[in-house]
Amino acid sequence: RELNSIASELAGRQEESEHSHKHLVELSREFKRNVPEEVREMVAPVLKSFQAQVVALNKRSKEAESAFLGIYKQLIEAP
């Protein structure tokens, strides 16, 4: 595939990722509102681990995409 199409797809994927993240946050809030306290306490460590992993993966993805787009920009501007 061409770099142009990959760069275009990245923008769409970033937007989808933001929407998915917001949806997960809302699901977490609903869960906390609708589940008894004792259940929340039991699942809290697991939920926090998943949240931390999502944040770490999101950060890594953004850094990789930024690096790619930076190199791509340099390539298209090269003589």
Query: Tokens 């944040």 appear where?
Result: 55
User: Cα separations (Å) of 53 from 12, 50, 59, 64?
Assistant: 22, 5, 10, 16
Q: Can you give the pLDDT at residue 56?
A: 95
Q: Can you give the pLDDT at residue 67?
A: 92
Q: Can you give the pLDDT at residue 45?
A: 95
Q: Can you give the pLDDT at residue 76?
A: 87
* Helix (H) or strand (E) run with residue 47 in it: helix 37-77
pTM value is 0.73
- Name residues of the chain where pLDDT drops below 50: none
Total residue count of the chain as it appears in this document: 79
Q: Can you give the pLDDT at residue 11?
A: 79
Q: Can you give the pLDDT at residue 38?
A: 95
Angle between helices 3-34 and 37-77 in degrees, nearest 10: 170
CB 10 within 8 A of CB 65: yes
